Chains A and B, each alone.
Chain A
Amino acid sequence: MAGRKRVAETTEVLLQGNVAVAEAAIAVGCRFFGGYPITPSSEIMVRMAELLRADDGVFIQMEDELASICAVIGASWSGAKSMTATSGPGLSLMQEALGYAYFTETPLVLVDIQRAGPATGQATHVGQGDMMQFKYGSHGDVFPVALVPWSVQECYDLTIRAFNLSEKFRVPVFLAADEAVGHLRENVVLHRNFEVVDRIKEGAGDPFGSPLPDGVPIMPAFGDGGRLMVTGSTHDGRGFRKVDDPEIHDTLVTRLMRKTLDHVDEIVEVEEYMLDDAEIAFFAYGVSARSALAAAKRLRSKGVKAGLLRALTIWPFPEKQVTQLGARVKTIVVPELNKGMITGVARGFTGTPVHAFAQTNGKIIEPDSLVKFVEGLP
């Protein structure tokens, strides 16, 4: 083992969220990391360099973010589980190739440790301002997956899940983390108690058509002997460009949409806290959900029936869960470290009033501010 020793797999240790992401990637079989350092994600890259070198994987520091994501796409087509990590400014640069990855059904995991944006913003301070970019950063209709951890343990568990979903559905998966969770150090168990999903490389049908029953075609690798054509232009089942056939385009775009949307019940995860008799509910994700849980408990101690619905998956959006929540409570409050991105999405799925608690000062939300906000609601 180069550098540091690996930690035990059953005992609780103190690790940073970013380091837990890297440990999880290796544990689930990641063999390639291509990246470009950026605060507050760089610890992932450093740890991946150590771990991949020790495990005979491949690590490359690329010349920029666009090259990084392209290297990850290429590595994935060589058959390797591949990952990169960045923050908002890097995510912006990666968007062109992310659309390509989506349209070519390339499994990859992109970890975004969100900081206070837009632009260079405040590099060392927290934000949750990339929430829409995961879903709407590309041109055209894309239906990627984004998972949101709220703890160091979930940095580990959801990175594993991100790889598994990515391999199963041949889709780019985002770990939509934030600086506060990425830099937090907490108790974590680097367990091996999980299933590992690998892409299906051989079988009936072509790599871009004739899907297997779950809507995902086989994915052979370059170097395995077969002929392989991968293009970001509209293509038929074998990968040949078909840029004038209206039916092929519509069939492809629709199949890629159905691939994730037909499996929302499998992909979307939420957790409920104190919702049984709740009249007011927070709908929250990432570090802001921890503020919300603390606030809900304080409100309960003051006699206010508060609860929390927490999204572990933000894309595909937990539409059904938000609709059901709206039917159970009188008011919903969405605390988030942006100007109300997810608040606006939630409003589309319920007629119940949805209020934004939007904080953009580079800090996480203090529970007492949320308590005061709720107490001041009409």
Chain B
Amino acid sequence: MNHAMNRSPVQVRIGGEAGQGVILAGVMLAQAAIGDGRKVAQSARYGAAVRGGEATADLVISDTPIDYPHVETPDILVVFSQQTYDKFAPAGTGDTKVFYDPFFVTPSKTAGGSLWEISATEMAIEKFGKSTSSNLIVLGFIAQLTEVVSEESLLAAIEQNLPSRHRAAGLEALAMGKKAAVEAGA
């Protein structure tokens, strides 16, 4: 609601392995976008296995009703696995902002887009002793750098999705991502 109306639609794709919180990150981003008064279509693509295998969350965020609900060309690509990076990294010149976690991804020298490194897994392990908050660190990072959703709405979405015992750590992870983005020169 802090944004001017009729911004261009934004296409976001988050890729990784099932179990990394990829789809939950997509859901929270979608809720935040609705909190900002926008239209959103959020979908996921995953295999039949309960854990493991490729998982992708897609979001289209727009101020007007969304016709085609899936991502065609991501404006923002977030990757938590080499497999999804290799599959979705833009070829040649492209405007896609690519966010990757170096714990899992070594970017190709020939792929296009602008590259943003965020060591979310390492940061999460160092701070919390496990990697499970890395998705929230990345959300804090991209929200700061891209303004795809407002901080206020993202905070509300996290509060809505996390059980109370994980809430404080979740908000801290988000703040860590934001700080890293500021340091990265947002």
Give the interface of A toward B (CB within 8 A).
Answer: 12-14, 39, 123-124, 180, 183-187, 287, 290-291, 293-294, 297, 364, 366-368
Contact = CB atoms under 8 A, between A and B. Distances in A.
Given A12-B34, A39-B48, A185-B30, A290 B40 contact: no
B47 A124 contact: yes
Interface residues of B, number: 20
A291 B69 CA distance: 8
Majority SS at the chain A contact face: mixed
A267 to B, nearest CB: 26
B43 A124 contact: no
Among A123, A124, A185, the most chain B Cβ lie within 10 Å of the Cβ of A185
Contact of B72 (A39, A297, A368): A368
Interface of B: 27, 30-31, 34, 39-48, 66-70, 72
22 contacts: A14-B42, A39-B48, A123-B48, A124-B47, A124-B48, A180-B69, A184-B42, A184-B43, A184-B69, A185-B27, A185-B40, A185-B41, A186-B39, A186-B40, A187-B34, A187-B39, A293-B67, A364-B70, A366-B68, A366-B72, A367-B67, A368-B72
A89 to B, nearest CB: 13
Contacts of B44: 183
A184 B70 CA distance: 9
B165 to A, nearest CB: 17
Which A-B residue pairs are the 5 nearest by beta carbons?
A294-B67, A294-B68, A185-B42, A293-B67, A14-B31
B34 A290 contact: no
A243 B68 CA distance: 52
Nearest to A185: B42
A318 to B, nearest CB: 21
A290 B41 CA distance: 12
Contacts of B45: 124
Nearest to B28: A14
* Most A CB within 10 A of own CB, among B40, B42, B69, B70: B69
Given A186-B42, A293-B67, 7 more contacts: A14-B40, A184-B41, A186-B40, A186-B69, A187-B34, A290-B68, A364-B69
A78 to B, nearest CB: 37
Contacts of B30: 14, 185
A291 B47 CA distance: 23
Most chain A C-beta atoms within 10 Å of own C-beta, residue among B40, B42, B70: B70
B69 A290 contact: yes
